[in-house]
Every structure is written in C-alpha cells, then in structure tokens.
Amino acid sequence: MRYIVIAGMCIGLGACGTPDPVYNTTTGGVGGAAVGCAVGAAVTAPLFGIGCIPGAIIGGSAGATAGAASTPPPVPLYTPPPAYYYPPY
C-alpha cells in the first residue's frame, strides 16, 4: 500500500513545471487517483477496500486541478530590453 502512495505522489510531482497544460492535468489526475485509491482502500480495509473508487475520484479531481494549476505562464514572444541599455543622448 505504501508503494502505491509513493508511486502516485511521484507521478503527481512529474506534472509540475512543464509548459504543457494537458500533460500536467493528465499526470496530476493519474497521480492523484492512485494516491486517493490507496488511501481510500487503506481506510476501508475491513470493508474489502470499497473506499478505493471514491478515493480515486476525489484524488483524481484534486490532482488534475493541481496539475493544471502548476502550468507556468507562457514566455512572452518579445521582451523589450531594460531602459539602461539605451545610450544617453
């Protein structure tokens, strides 16, 4: 169970910082679903792990949101040089 949580967290962390919002959302959702499923199954272990599905749904939506939010803003196409680059006349 511990390895599933660790693997899911690693997958979720892999989504951070790439400029592709689709990739970030997908990997965040998969990682969140894995962690949510593992936690839900661990909490409801006496009930044969029936909490895995709700945990995966909640974790997947939270992970997808976090993955989309971790997308950095696009780089501007043109950035003017600072004012001190221009020679004084």
- pLDDT attached to residue 21: 83
- pLDDT attached to residue 4: 60
pLDDT digits (tens, 9 = 90+) for 35-45: 888 788 878 87
Buried/exposed code over 42-56 (b: 16+ C-beta within 10 A; e: otherwise): beeeeeebebbeebb
pLDDT confidence bin for 62, thresholds 50/70/90: confident
Q: Where are the domains of the chain?
A: 2-72
Distance CA 89, CA 79 (A): 23
- Share above pLDDT 90 across residues of the chain, in percent, rounded to a whole number: 0
